[in-house]
Amino acid sequence: MDRRSSTAAAGPSGDERIKPVSWMDLPRKDQLIVITLTRLSEPLVQTSLQAYMVYQLRWFDPTLPDSVISTQAGILHASFTAAQLLTAMLWGRLADSARFGRKTVVLVGLGGTMLSCIGYGFSTTFSTALFFRSLGGITNGNVGVLRTMISEIIQEKKYQSRAFLLLPMTFNIGVIVGPPLGGILSDLAGSYPSIFGHVSFFRDFPYAAPNIISAFILFVALVSVWLCLEETLDARRDTRDLGIELGRKIVGIIRTYVFRRQFEVAYTPLASRGTSTDVEMSPLPSSSSLADESPLESSVGQTRRRRPRYTKRLPFRRIFTRNVTFTLFSQFLMAFHVGTFNALWFVFLSTPVYDPAKPPQSIDPLPRRLPFFFTGGMGLQPREIGMAMSILGVLGIGLQLFLYPTLSARLGTVRSWRLFLTLFPVTYFIVPYLSLVPSSPASPPPLPKDGIAMWASIAAVLFLQVLGRTFALPANTILVNNCTPHPSVLGTLHGVAQSVSSMARTIGPMLCGYLYGLGLARGVVGAVWWGLSGVAFCGFLASWWVREGNGHEIWLEGDEEDE
């Protein structure tokens, strides 16, 4: 039985456009905080290693030319998403199953990524690093699962523009902290010889320190999920959770021994007529009973007593409706160019500056002739790369906090998505021209670029890219979530979407990393960026076939209306 809502394609109402909800209006903020911190741990780890990846590859084999290094960087960057491509749909299905559920999949993802960090940090060859990067991707399907959990916690559309902004916001926070962390902690013996130069551990494993810190951050996230994150899958809400029970006992102990005085006495309210009017100081219930009957547990108990919204599961073959197909295709194109930019940007910043005395590394290079035939990069060091990426993060956080919710509420999800997709083709087209920006007189070629003009140009390019990404990524997540034909396959669809995104983020960096190295050797470094601009323009065109669904396009027998 199919029943379609007449408002399936409708955007926010007029009142919602004018008066967006505030951050404090979001329900279940305790669970949203845990999910946000969980997601934050992963982009922090990924952006940390990108700050020094090119230099680590050169440490593996100093004899390799820059063109080969850029190709290896693309492969290493894509290996994580390639492995996710193979397993993301499986993790989505397991997250939808009553045997595993959402929380178990998240715990496995955090644990696998933690182990891969440790192995990657102690790698001494390209093949070993590739293995551990792939291990992290195989075990990690958390992005789709966390999006699913947010959509099950936040079911009202008026809250979605802020709730679904939390995960992209964590990327920007990770970009602010991760690259400087990786740049400062990488190769401590070489960067700070007077302090760490005599320590054999840092000489033998120069890139272990940032990965050990990353593994510790992931461990903290894993423990917080086990102790604090509640299961959102209907079929597992009545299942005993030892982690939650232990977490509540810890809270009870803290209340008993740390905040005891705050819970011992309090005023008893004045009695109503017909009862005693004495005002006295009376003891409150014991801290242990407060822990047992906390608002958190009370709300969970109410949720568990609620009837399930659905009793049947939509067959997998019925998931791919017309709108789902177009939405996933648009996501593929956007993930392709955004993921490729994230990979190539680090390589471009690390690429040596063009040296007129040193011709391109090719037997048949094209002659240098502006505005299209030129080569070279920025030549920045890991710490400077970390600074450049922090600019991206700071810009993103500011836009997401103060501009996105209001503007998205006024324009609606689909309109704001299409509008800001137009920024990506422009950004990618002008990126290679950064290599032509003059450096300061104190840093002539082939020395790394420096100076006000260089940093202002980087900030301008990143502003355009971050502005587009700030609006496009959360809107795309909302559209994927709302195009779900039935809530019983919500986790599965997010798993499919993550597989589609992983495929794009695998093909893009690998293909464009190879083309970047080829263009660098032939003397036309901008070719791959201009091709990426074309892909972004195709993504804008594809957006016109996408509409916003209502998350329950297909109705099955036994389905209940959302409360």
Closest CA to 311 of 559, 477, 70, 534: 559
Does position 18 have pLDDT exceeding 80, yes or no? no
Distance CA 107, CA 245 (A): 17
Are 113 and 133 contacting, i.e. CB atoms less than 8 angstroms apart? no
Provide the token pair at 68.
């080969």
Provide the token pair at 346.
């680090």
The tokens 């955007």 sit on which residue? 11
- Indicate the burial class of 315 (C-beta count within 10 angstroms; 0-12, 13-18, 19 or more): exposed
311 — pLDDT class (breaks 50, 70, 90) = low
Which comes out higher in pLDDT, residue 560 or 168? Answer: 168
Q: What is the DSSP letter of 548?
A: -
The tokens 């999949």 sit on which residue? 105
Does position 1 have pLDDT exceeding 70, yes or no? no
Distance CA 46, CA 53 (A): 10
pTM for the structure as a whole = 0.66
Amino acid at 343: A
Mean per-residue pLDDT of the chain? 79
Does position 493 have pLDDT exceeding 80, yes or no? yes
Rg for the chain, CA atoms, rounded: 26
Angle subtended by helix axes 490-522 and 66-96, to nearest 10: 180
Mean pLDDT on 289-306: 42
Q: What are the backbone angles phi and psi of residue 282, rounded to the nearest 5°?
A: -130, 150
- Indicate the burial class of 468 (C-beta count within 10 angstroms; 0-12, 13-18, 19 or more): buried
Which comes out higher in pLDDT, residue 560 or 562? Answer: 560
Are 95 and 141 contacting, i.e. CB atoms less than 8 angstroms apart? yes
Q: Looking at 262-266, 397-401, 471-475, which range is the least confident one?
A: 262-266
